[in-house]
Amino acid sequence: MSNPDDPIDVLALGNGRYQVTRGTERSIAFAVAGRDTWVFLDGRTYVVSDTPDGSPRRSRIDEQGALTAPMPATVLTVNVAAGQQVKRNDVVMVLEAMKMELPIRSPRDGVVKAIRCEAGELVQPGATLLELEGNVEG
């Protein structure tokens, strides 16, 4: 068994394979470094990012109130218009990817400042879908 004080030793075996040794415990990991670093260890996959906030693919609202696309998708419907009041969890638009509908819900109460996409448009991850104004704490 290993204990938390044991040093972790990583040996590159080539072709993305790594031997991880800690105390008497050994396992094989796989990893690829790119814009993010992907690691596979003990049946789990991790994305280790240099930026503390993680990947830009997350569908969330930023400090400026911009709601972004979580993945490449087609905009199916836009259910709100600029100037409209929305409540938290209102479906503001519906995206479609891989034959599945993906409802995009408002993360908080607010007013739609601007719509940045239109129905039928193919959007890329991180693309701004719409902007909200109102209390950021929500």
Partner 1 sequence: MTSPRPFDRILIANRGEIAVRVIRACRELGIESVAVYSDADARALHTTLADVAIRIGPPPAIDSYLSIDAILAAARQSGAQAVHPGYGFLSENADFASACKAAGLTFIGPPPEAIDGMGSKIAARKTAIEAGVPVVPGETPTDQSNDAIADAARRVGFPVLLKPSEGGGGIGMKTARSDSDLVETIAQARREATAAFGDGTLYVERLIEQPRHVEFQVLADHHGHIVHVFERECSIQRRHQKVIEESPSVAVTPSLRQRMGDAAVAVARKAGYRNAGTVEFLVEGAGDSARFYFLEMNTRLQVEHPVTEQVTGIDLVRAQIGIAAGRDLPWTQKDLSQRGHAIELRVYAEDPARQDLPQAGLLLLYREPSMPGIRIDSGVTEGSEVAVHYDPLLVKLIATGETRDAARMRALAAIRNYPILGIRTNIPLLMELLEHPRFIAGNVDTGFLDAEGDTIRARLSSSPSPAVVAVAAAAREVGPTVAARGTRAKSIDPWSSLRGARV
Stretch that binds partner 1, among 79-87, 95-103, 111-119, 129-137 (CB under 8 A): 95-103
Among 1, 5, 24, 44, indicate the residue that binds partner 1 (CB under 8 A).
Answer: 44
If we measure between CA atoms, which residue out of 49, 29, 45 comes closest to residue 37?
A: 49
CA distance 64 to 66: 6
For residue 18, state whether it binds partner 1 (rule: CB under 8 A).
yes
Report the b/e string of 3-33 with b at 16+ CB within 10 A: eeeeeeeeeeeeeeebebebeeeeeebebee
Q: How many residues bind partner 1 (CB under 8 A)?
A: 38
Nearer to partner 1, 4 or 83 (CB): 4
- Positions touching partner 1 (CB under 8 A) are 8, 10, 12, 15-16, 18, 20, 22, 29-34, 37-46, 48, 59, 70-73, 76, 96-102
